[in-house]
Amino acid sequence: MKNILLAVSGGIAAYKAIDLTSKLTQSGYEVRVMLTEHAQEFVTPLAFQAISRNPVYTSTFVEENPAEIQHIALGDWADAVIIVPATANILGKLANGIADDMITSTLLATTAPKFAAPAMNVHMYENPRVQHNMKVLAQDGYRFAEPGEGFLACGYVAKGRMMEPLDIMAFVEREMNEVKDLDQSTQSQWYQDKNILVTAGPTVEVIDPVRYVSNRASGKMGYAIADALQKRGANVTLVSGPTYLTPPENVEFVPVTSAEDMFNAVTERYEAQDMVFKSAAVSDYKTSEQLEHKMKKQNGDLSITFTRTQDILKYLGDHKAHQKLIGFAAETQDVEKYAKDKLDRKNADVIIANNVGDTSIGFNSDDNEVTLFFKDDEAVSIEKGKKQQLAERILDELERRWK
């Protein structure tokens, strides 16, 4: 990766793009910069030109070289494109395919990896429409350098502060290395045509028509694994408890609610599987009685009797024939001890464990950090990264070991 194209949009954090240009140039990258009309209210083209020693592009209709169409040529030149700052406006345009200026036209035309460093007011960042646009762009391959918490231009101290330039540079370099590893790993056909079942999400145990018992699992890790498997050619069945996630394309999706529902869905399909990834956080207990009508408030304390649910992973381990069985362990302490114990008791081939007590990688986080524990006492740690990246790393590790 040598050629970096910076797309600077109109936010107060645009001044940090000057620093990023400087740091990239000092690190040996060839940097070219595009500015939106509104970005020029905060920073000037001359500043970027002086630091990058390259022309700065501000208009689709100004062609520096009449022998080429500039927004096409720039997109072809770039090894990566970074949007700094990525405002709500530019994200909305890109998510909806709008190409009304130099930046949006170039980003629609380029096939280079695309990165965005959002920066905006916390309420704007959390707005459902902005989050929807980011999700659409993530599905299209954009990678987001998530903003941090800090003092914002609006006076708030909250999330929305753009990632610092050095951290953006490290993030892009790390992500580009992941892309390179993925390009190499996906050349393998080892998962091709294998029947693989993945469980994901929480389960829900009903108390009455209003109340239930569940857990904080988001399903993101399981969905990422299912998506990575189908991209490698596997025949994937995703059995999922209730989540807000969109199922990956090209998988058989089986929605369930309770632990019993999940047990039935998995065991009915178990014999035909080559592998099972049991990443769902299944309730260990259910209420002994599900009330038909809402339980009314009473004086004093309330006691509810719970009974054990069926242990799905243990059942699969006890009835394993040719299948490879991958279990997950979400722990808050003594991660290695509990993972190894689970590996033995459940007769799994590997337990993938993480510390959900760490809120940066716990439930609902987009990031994770895991260790794979195998039966021969080998442990393989995978450093913190996006769950989609970890899914690829996990599949690579299992293929390396079992191929």
101 assigned ligand-binding residue = no
Return the sign of the alpha-carbon dihedral for residues 229, 367, 265, 321.
Answer: positive
Our answer to whether residue 210 is catalytic in this structure is no
**Which amino acid is it at 105?**
S
- CB-based contact 90:103 (threshold 8 Å): yes
Dig out the tokens for 107 from the structure: 């980003």
**Which amino acid is it at 17?**
A
Q: Which of 62, 153, 154, 272 is catalytic?
A: 154
Q: How many CB atoms lie within 10 A of CB 26?
A: 9
- DSSP designation for 39: G
Dig out the tokens for 14 from the structure: 């645009």
- CB-based contact 232:188 (threshold 8 Å): yes
Distance (Å, whole) CA 36 – CA 84: 11
Q: Which residues contact 278 (CB under 8 A, 6 or more apart)?
A: 199, 266, 312, 313, 316, 325, 326, 327, 328
Distance (Å, whole) CA 397 – CA 403: 10
- CB-based contact 164:15 (threshold 8 Å): no
284 assigned ligand-binding residue = yes
Contacts within 8 Å (CB) and 24+ apart, 181-185: 181/392, 181/393, 181/396, 182/392, 185/392, 185/395, 185/396, 185/399
Cα 163 off chain centre by: 18
294 assigned ligand-binding residue = yes
Q: Which residues contact 64 (CB under 8 A, 6 or more apart)?
A: 55, 57, 70
**Which amino acid is it at 336?**
E
Buried (b) or exposed (e) across 182-219, using 16+ Cβ within 10 A?
Answer: beebbeeebbeebbbbbbbbbbbbbbeeeebbbbebbb
**How many helices (H) and strands (E) are present in the chain, helices listed first?**
13, 20
**Which amino acid is it at 96?**
N
314 assigned ligand-binding residue = no
- Binding-site residues sit at 284, 294, 328, 342, 346
- Binding-site residues for CTP sit at 284, 294, 328, 342, 346
Query: Annotated active-site positions, please?
Result: 154
